[in-house]
Amino acid sequence: MGHTAASARLRYPEHYFPRIAHRGERCPMRGWNPEGEVVSDQPLSSWQYMPGPPLARLRSWGCTLSGFSEDLGRTVRRVEVVSPRIKVVIGFGAGYLLGAGKNQRRHQAFVVGNPAGPTTVEHDDAQSCVEVELPPWAAYSLFDGASDVLAGGVVDLADIWGSEAGLLAEALHGAPAWERRFEIVEQLLARRLVAPRRAVPAALRWAWEELAREQGSVPVRQLCDRIGWSGRHFAACFKGHLGVGPKAAARRIRFGSAHGLMSLAPGMALSQVAAACGYSDQSHFTREFQAFAGCSPAAYAQAGFPDAPGKPASLLEA
């Protein structure tokens, strides 16, 4: 996507969960030029990022798809920062270990809702996945109004969809190319979203989209006045449907804007990033970044892998 600070519209290769690699694989979908595909040029590593095609049937739902592949020949541990959008990761490799210590759990497919802080992701061997990103109001419908999924951190997709999650992973594993994988996922999303059983009230959808459009800078009182709700009723309904309250959502959206801007413009001074994304000062930006990424923005900007995208989980241990 184009250069914009609005996190809901950002797309960048560093946005990870990369998986197994098929060197040189292309996805010649009819009428779709996969602009933005990135393939490793390192001699001892193999990874690929494949942006998904436009989803004509789901245009109004704000969904995007991406394919990731990786085979680095070693164990990889990454940090996944907090995002204002909900992520559904359908893996068709060896699975992932999410969390740390006693809270670590293996997942084949999972949902990342609204965790309080960053998540660590570990995998061995070759990995592949399709990742779905969508706004929380769309995720509410996708999961039939299960707002507790949005309110939590990581939830195994099988705990929500049962055997359908495993069948989906098997279908992706058996698909011959990214074109077919994206088609499989789009068909599933369309089946659940085009005529959803549960939907977020239009006023709440508008409020979230307004926050996203303004990078989280709209006062909550202003949103309440526009839709004619009391502050208490608005906050309760917003959290009940979208997983977090409006102020918390605004913080996540603002952080997502800053995180995306840092990825798109790595040479930009952090003070400029803070100002562009609406932080009151540099210290405010640093505190928020620490809360949602687990490290300072300076440490995050300098960290990386020599042969793969993403940020190492060692950032959380510094």
pLDDT tens-digit readout, 195-242: 999 999 999 999 999 999 999 999 999 999 999 999 999 999 999 999
> In a 3-state reduction of DSSP, which class is residue 16?
coil
Higher-confidence residue of 114 and 34: namely 114
pLDDT band at 7 (very low <50, low <70, confident <90, very high): very low
Q: Which residue has the tokens 């049937």?
A: 57
Taking each helix axis from N to C end, the angle separating 220-227 and 202-213, rounded to the nearest 10 degrees, works out to: 140
Q: What is the C-alpha to C-alpha distance for residues 175 and 184, in angstroms, rounded to an integer? A: 9
Answer for the pair 249, 85: CB distance below 8 angstroms, yes or no: no
pLDDT band at 34 (very low <50, low <70, confident <90, very high): low
Q: What is the C-alpha to C-alpha distance for residues 110 and 223, in angstroms, rounded to an integer? A: 32
Closest CA to 27 of 176, 127, 131: 176
Which of 112-126, 180-194, 282-296 has the lowest average pLDDT?
112-126
Closest CA to 37 of 55, 46, 24: 24
pLDDT value, residue 46:
85
What is the percentage of the chain residues whose pLDDT exceeds 70? Answer: 86
pTM: 0.86
What is the percentage of the chain residues whose pLDDT exceeds 90? Answer: 74
